[in-house]
Structure 1
Amino acid sequence: MDVLVKLLHELGSNQYHDEQYIGGMIMPRLGIGLDCCVIPLRFGGLSLLQTTDFFYPLIDDPYMMGKIACANVLSDLYAVGVTECDNMLMLLGVSSKFTEKERDTVIPLMIHGFKDSAEEAGTSITGGQTVLNPWCLIGGVATTVCQQNEFIMPDNAVPGDVLVLTKPLGTQVACNAHQWLEQRNDKWNRIKLIVSEDEVEKAYHDAMFNMARLNRTASQLMHTFNSHGATDVTGFGILGHAANLAKQQRNEVNFVIHNLPCIAKMSAIAKACGNMFGLLQGTSAETSGGLLICLPREQAAKYCAEIKKVEGNQAWIIGIVEAGSRTARIIDKPRVIEVQTLEDGTVQSVPPTTTPRRTIKPNVEQQKPMLPEIQNQPNNNLQQQHPQTQQVTNIIHSVQQQQVMQQAPSVALLTPVTMHDQVQQVIVQDPQQYQHHQQMQQFQNHHQ
């Protein structure tokens, strides 16, 4: 990341801090170094927001690759709270190494996937550029014109804020492990004793559908719950993007990450491979990852509950904002939260399968007595934790209890389970929340 920022310095990487006086208003200007540019226009207090991105295919399925590429481009707009994209252009590199049959099969599927994702986002593709290239690539440009209240400048974090992540980490590890499985190479021999073939296949498909999922809902809720700024997690990894966001803050703050939600089994693979990926160090590259959002502490519970209610997918509190010098770090021995896609298509933390659980009927009177039990559940490791770890643990417990109280009338509650020395509670999903499942079904129907 430092090398890239240095290379872009001459283009004005510090122009983000500038403000422009246009049309009788002082307008912020966001440029190189963050997710998209925000350029004030000379017409009625409007701003032009624009971003571009492209990359090489990282999965086997060309249709899903098109969806992932489109979702990845749009995430840069979503990261600043923009939910409506006016126009998209598609960038496509057709590999000169394709046979005619490969080209006529792969390229239309990639285009179809990109188009379907754009339509899901409520926008359309009106042009672009296609070239013959030694390597296949796909990406695009997303553009919109907004009033000032339609986007959220990513610079208002304050001490006491909470960091929320809306998609799990580990996509790079999952895609590489799947490739090793197919090739049956030495790297597969290194990890096959700690992960099964079925687990690698499951993680690969979980990663694929996570990457294809739009961050649009997460972006909409940033306005509802008074976000102080956000970024999307992609090529620099969770720590790289957190550090980049911290540098842009008006206040002198640090971002401290305590929890790492990861696709199930990916942390074990990362450990077995040494520092090849840097997953637990926060440097593993992600593709079309989630939004890393700064939220007021009192709003975090409501945000996590609402995103779960709207799309069925879990979001995680992963850290805190404290007074500092605009840096980001991950604590020693961060807590890893295993995550997978469940049968109903929703993305959730994985409860330990060996922990006995009992279902409680969704009755408010039956649920109320359980709240003190959750609050007082012993955790033998808490006294040994660093004070900051204790602080973020207390925040998480507070959020969980608020979520239970908010959701009590409509969901069934399972008994508390302990995962990685942390008290968690598992919520049974509303069977009508099938947005992600429908996306999977659409993909399956497409290939039948």
Structure 2
Amino acid sequence: MTDLDAPAIPTYRLSQYAHGGGCACKIPPGELESVVAGLRQDQPEQLLVGLDDGDDAAAVRIEGGTAVLSTADFFTPVVDDPYDWGRIAAANALSDVYAMGGRPVVAVNLLSWPREVLPFELAREVLRGGADVGRQAGCPVAGGHSVDDPEPKYGMAVTGVGAPESLLRNDSGRAGLPLSLTKPLGIGVLNNRHKATGEVSTAAVATMTTLNARAAEDAVAAGLRCATDVTGFGLLGHLHKLARASGVSAVVDSSAVPYLDGARQALRDGYVSGGTRRNLDWVRPHVDLSAITDDEALLLADAQTSGGLLVAGEVPGAPVIGELVARGEHSITVR
């Protein structure tokens, strides 16, 4: 039988095989913090970053003065196309290393697959997407682990390296620093519309598959030391964690925050995920939202997948959306 004679693989809408999509399927931040609170222990001297502040990756100092960065990230399908899902999941996992100012050096796949429901040809496309992004990042993808699972899930465990004195951490913010955002928001509502209707946002896919490598390099080169990536907890959630860890507050200029085309329309049409609403519920007691509408607040809490970096300092080409200020009544004030 030739390839032309082989039966075509039926079209599957992968997003319909999962209860959530992308980073919107994360355990809510408040619940997660209560789970890990009792796991904190005395940290050995070589552990530079651990559980304390919920940073993007763990960091440990090894011989030779190098910091080894370790992270893992995986999620259910955020788009229907398996190759794009693989690319997005890989870029998202690599982002945790970039958010720490590091360079990824090796990754392994994490794959859960409903083997009696979805054909393995689709899984191969997912893995191919991940491998292509790893190649783009100069990070070999060397094996991994797979399990039979009722829901498809894919991601990576990534190891990176960095200079201990140059790490980007979420506890290194200082009052007076501007806040730069390197990717527009709106990924969550656009992905939720895709899940509901099948309508593809090429802008959202392009944003999610863009690596944060250049932004991280620029931040480190500029001598900046505080950053986080904006993913499942939304801009407000991740900024709240950064401000809390750094002992400062933040002021956000809502008119300066960039959004993807179609995001506001998707919000008006009601494509808001449960994860986004939980994000807003979690941060509301800590954030002054009196100057904006509920819709604007939802967009600022929108659960992102493979979002950009939020950096304390100016990053070339990235809009400044606010600043860090002395600790006040609220961790964030939105104007």
Q: Paired residue for 1:293?
A: 311
Any conservation in 2 of the 1:29–1:40 contact (CA below 8 Å)?
no
2:195 is aligned with 1:176: no
Match of 2:249 in 1: 254
2:316 aligns to what?
A: 304
Contact 2:169 2:228 in 1 (8 A): no
- Alignment identity in percent? 30
Deviation at 1:274, TM superposition (A): 9.1
User: What amino acid is aligned across from residue 33 of structure 2 in structure 1?
Assistant: V
Displacement of 1:288 in angstroms is 0.4
Tell me which of 29, 53, 58 is aligned to 2:73. 53
Contact conserved, 1:256 with 1:331, CA < 8 A, in 2?
Answer: yes
- The whole-number CA distance in structure 1 between the counterparts of 2:176 and 2:35 is 34
- Select the residue among 23, 39, 44 that pairs with 1:11: 39
Moved more, 255-264 or 239-248: 255-264
Whether contact under 8 Å (1:79, 1:219) holds in the other structure is yes
Q: Report SS of the residue matched to 1:280.
A: helix
Could you tell me the TM-score, scaled by structure 1's length? 0.59
Unaligned runs of 5+ in 1: 183-199, 306-314, 333-448
Matches of residues 33-432 of structure 1 in structure 2 within 5 Å?
33-41=54-62, 43-82=63-102, 84-99=103-118, 102-104=119-121, 106-182=122-198, 201=200, 204-249=201-246, 252-259=247-254, 260-273=257-270, 277=276, 280-281=296-297, 282-295=300-313, 300=314, 303-305=315-317, 315-325=318-328, 328-332=331-335
For 1:93-127, what per-residue CA distance to the aligned partner results, in whole angstroms no more than 9, with x for missing partners? Answer: 1123425xx322x1111111100000111110112
Deviation at 1:181, TM superposition (A): 2.9
The C-alpha deviation readout for 1:248-299, integer Å capped at 9, x for no partner, is: 11xx31012113311123123324439765562222211000000001xxxx
> What is the CA–CA distance in structure 2 between the aligned matches of 1:245 and 1:56, rounded to whole Å?
26
Corresponding position of 1:416: none
Cα offset for 1:29?
A: 3.3
**Residue correspondences, number:** 283
What's the Cα RMSD here?
2.3
- The Cα of 1:31 is off from its aligned counterpart by 3.3
Q: Tell me the CA shift for residue 148 of structure 1.
A: 1.8
Question: Once the 2 structures are TM-superposed, how far is the Cα of residue 4 of structure 1 from its aligned partner?
Answer: 0.7
Residue aligned with 1:138, SS: strand
How far the C-alpha of 1:40 sits from its partner, in A, is 2.7
Gaps of 5+ in 2: 1-28, 278-294
Asked if 1 retains the 8 angstrom alpha-carbon contact of 2:185 and 2:258, the reply is yes
Match of 2:104, SS state, is coil
Q: Counterpart of 1:375?
A: none
Matched position secondary structure for 2:50: coil
1:374-418 deviations in Å (ceiling 9; x for gaps): xxxxxxxxxxxxxxxxxxxxxxxxxxxxxxxxxxxxxxxxxxxxx
Larger radius of gyration: 1
The answer to whether the Cα contact below 8 Å between 2:49 and 2:55 also exists between their aligned partners in 1 is: no
Contact 1:253/1:326 (<8 A) preserved: no
CA contact (8 A) 1:243 1:327 kept: no
Higher relative contact order (CA 8 A, sep 6+): 2
Secondary structure at the aligned position of 1:207 is classed as helix
Show CA shifts across 1:46-76 (max 9, x none). Answer: 3321000100011011111111111000111
- Which deviations, in whole Å up to 9, do the C-alpha atoms of 1:163-212 show, x marking residues without a partner? 11111111111122233334xxxxxxxxxxxxxxxxx64xx111011101
What amino acid is the match of 1:116? D
The runs of 4+ residues in structure 1 deviating greater than 4 Å are 274-279
